Amino acid sequence: MLKSLPIGVFDSGLGGLTVAREIMRNLPMEKIVYFGDTARVPYGSKSGQTIKRYSRQIVRFLKTQEIKAIVVACNTATALAMDEIREEAGGLPVIGVVEPGARAACEASKSGRIGVIATRATIGSHVYSEAIQGIRSDASVIGKACPLLVPLVEEGWIHDKITDEILLRYLDELLEHDIDALILGCTHYPLLRSEIRRLIGDGIRLVNPAYETASELKRLLKEQGLDNDKLRDAGEPYPYRFYVSDEAERFAGFANSVLPVDVKNARIVPIEEF
C-alpha cells in the first residue's frame, strides 16, 4: 500500500535531523528513510552546480528505497537544487524547507522586517527574500551568511563562549535593522536556538522552518491520500532507517542526541555511484 511507504528525507549531513525530529513528533505514524551526505558536507560553501549534482544522486538513491514523498531537509539544497530534485523525483511529491519557513516568518513578523541567517550559498541564492516577498510584498528581508556556525555545531560547541562571540558578531549586524522575526535558515541553527534567544532577547520571534515543513508535509500527504493511518503492529520492523555517505557511527551518536527515538545504527551508501 502506497500509504504505508516511508518518506525520504535528506540533508547534507547531520543537521537535517532537526527536520526529521519534527516529522517524527508531528507525524508519528510515518516511516522515514533518512540520508545524510556526511562525506561531502558542508554544501553551504559549494557551488550551485555541485549541490545540484549531489542532490540528484541522493534522490536517485532514495528512489531505490520505495518512498512515497521526499523532504529536502537541507536549506542549501532547497535553495539551489529544487528544480533538479523535482525533475529527478519524477512524479513523487517533494517539499523543501524554504517556502514553509518563509510562510512562518511572514506570519510571525508584524513589522515586515525579517532577518535570515543561513549558509553562504543559501543567502547568495536570495531564495528566502524571494519567497517572503512573494507572500508579503511590503516585507524587507535582511540576510546574513554565518559560515562558522555549522562547524561549531558539528564540533558540539553549543554552550561555549567562543560560539557566543561568533553569534554576536553575526547577529549584531541584523539587530541594527530592527528586525522582529529571524529565520533559522540552516538545519544546524535550531540546535543553537537557546543561545540565540539568550543573546537577542525576547523581542524577536525565532522561526524554525522545520516545524512548518512538518505541518506542510502533513497537509500534503492528507491532500494526496498518502497519509499513513495505520498504527504500527508490534511485530513490524523499526520505522526509521538511516543512511549516510561516511562516518556512520558518529552519525548514529549525534542522531541519538537529537532525535526522540533510539538510533541503533546507520548504513553507508556509496552515493557517488548513484
Catalytic residue numbers read 74, 186
Interface map 63-82 toward ligand DGL (x if CB under 6 A): -----------xxx------
Residue 67 buriedness (CB in 10 A; 0-12 / 13-18 / 19+): buried
Give me the phi and psi of 104, to 5 degrees please: -65, -40
73 vs 132, beta carbon nearer ligand DGL? 73
Instruction: Using DSSP, state whether 205 is helix, strand or coil.
Output: strand
188 binds ligand DGL (CB under 6 A): yes
Nearer to ligand DGL, 12 or 109 (CB): 12
Going by the DSSP 8-state scheme, the letter that residue 91 receives in this structure is T
- CB-based contact 211:205 (threshold 8 Å): no
Write the binding mask 90 to 129 for ligand DGL: x where contact by CB under 6 A, - elsewhere: -----------------------------x--x-------
For residue 47, the minimal CB distance to ligand DGL (Å) is 13
In the complex with ligand DGL, the residue whose CB is nearer, 112 or 216, is: 216
Minimum CB separation of residue 44 from ligand DGL in Å reads 3
Rounded Cα–Cα distance for residues 147 and 150 (Å): 7
Quote the CA–CA distance of 185 and 188 in Å, as a whole number. Answer: 9
Question: What's the CA gap between 64 and 69, in Å, rounded?
Answer: 13
Q: Per the structure block, which three cell numbers stand in for 83?
A: 528544480
Instruction: Centre a 10 Å sphere on the Cβ of residue 272 and count the other Cβ atoms it contains.
Output: 11
Binding mask 3-42 for ligand DGL (x = CB under 6 A): --------xxx-x-------------------------xx
Q: Which stretch binds ligand DGL (CB under 6 A): 126-134, 183-191, 235-243, 261-269?
A: 183-191
Exactly one of 43, 54, 211, 240 binds ligand DGL (CB under 6 A); that residue is 43
CA distance 108 to 106: 5
